[in-house]
Structure 1
Amino acid sequence: MNLSFLLSALLVLFAGGMIALQAPTNVMLARAGGSPVLAALISFAVGTLSLLAVWLASGHRPGVTPFAALPWYAWLGGLYGAAYVAIAAYAAPRLGLATLITIGIAGQVLVALWLDHVGALGLPRMAISPARVAGAALVIVGVLLVRRG
């Protein structure tokens, strides 16, 4: 295992932990504001300001040209995140945090398998194999075990 892989894996592990923290903090915002959509808006506003500060500090200024050639769907990433954050703020108190997170991971794995299989959005093709299907099935079993807990 090379250092780049290890660092990437540790960063993703950390980010996954941050996602677990995001749902309950957004539930607090949703309760205070009476709306999971408002909670998501506040969450994204804080995130946007944070990213703006980091980007400005980085000094990286690519200009507009590289973005002009992108397909329309390249701009939808924030929409997916916004939907997840609003849904999580609604669902966390109803499902419990561990069930919310494991169901979300199951959804991620299933869609990722399909995206890999077709090589969607510029990703390299990685065919669905019995081992990959078994891994996804184990994630789904994990959802059931966490829920029954």
Structure 2
Amino acid sequence: MRSSFLFPLAVLTGMLLPVQFAVNSALTRFTLSAVLTAACSYGGGAIVLLLGLLIVHRGRVPLGRLAGAPGWSLLGGVVGSAYIMGSVVLTRLLGAALAVTLVIAAQVMAGLALDHFGALGLKRRPLNAARAAVLLLVLGALGLRLL
């Protein structure tokens, strides 16, 4: 994939986060349940992904490839479910802007830690001055948001 395509893709992907927070928050006004909202969110996403699998793999989904995957690598949906439920609660209580700001700050911290230690199969990318500066800027932005 060309690197000139990655930045716009990252921006568009990032813009989906507050939209997802707001959509799930709106649904929770009707479900009155973060768990039911998360189930609806994941259920709808699962349907889209299943259709995508069938289209991309032309009806022959290579499930056998999962046999060699470490067990922990199959837990992304569990982590995502907790993430969705947390985002629903945070958005309802704090509003989308503060909830997203807090989540982004936490994501940067977790991402830097995962990279630094090469955890969960990632290539090790040690913390350096530039990466530390990014963290300080993100935390500074969070501090400004909390004023």
- With structure 1 as the length reference, what TM-score do the two structures score? 0.91
Query: What is the CA distance between 1:147 and its match in structure 2?
Result: 2.8
Between the aligned partners of 2:49 and 2:103, the Cα distance in structure 1 is: 24
Cα deviation code 1:79-129 (max 9, x no counterpart)? 111111111111102112111111111111111111111112222111111
Query: What is the CA distance between 1:77 and its match in structure 2?
Result: 0.7
Q: Would you identify which runs of 4 or more consecutive aligned residues in structure 1 move more than 6 Å?
A: none
Q: Percent identity?
A: 33
Q: Where does structure 2 lack aligned partners over 5 or more consecutive residues?
A: none
**In the alignment, is the contact (CA less than 8 A) between 2:54 and 2:61 conserved in 1?**
no
Structure 2 residue 85 is matched with structure 1 residue 67: no
Specify the SS of the correspondent of 2:2.
helix
Cα deviation code 1:29-61 (max 9, x no counterpart)? 111011011101100000111111122111264
Instruction: Classify 1:48/1:23 alpha carbon distance in 2 versus 1 (closer, same or farther; 3 Å).
Output: same
Query: What is the CA distance between 1:65 and its match in structure 2?
Result: 2.9
Counterpart of 1:5 in structure 2 is 3
Specify the SS of the correspondent of 1:10.
helix
- With structure 2 as the length reference, what TM-score do the two structures score? 0.92
State the superposition RMSD in angstroms: 1.5
Between the aligned partners of 2:44 and 2:5, the Cα distance in structure 1 is: 26
- Taking the TM superposition and a 5 Å limit, the aligned residue runs for 1:74-89 are 74-89=73-88
- Taking the TM superposition and a 5 Å limit, the aligned residue runs for 1:77-116 are 77-116=76-115
Among 30, 34, 37, which residue is 2:35 paired with?
37
**In the alignment, is the contact (CA less than 8 A) between 2:24 and 2:88 conserved in 1?**
yes
Between the aligned partners of 1:122 and 1:87, the Cα distance in structure 2 is: 25
Q: Where does structure 1 lack aligned partners over 5 or more consecutive residues?
A: none
Counterpart of 1:15 in structure 2 is 13
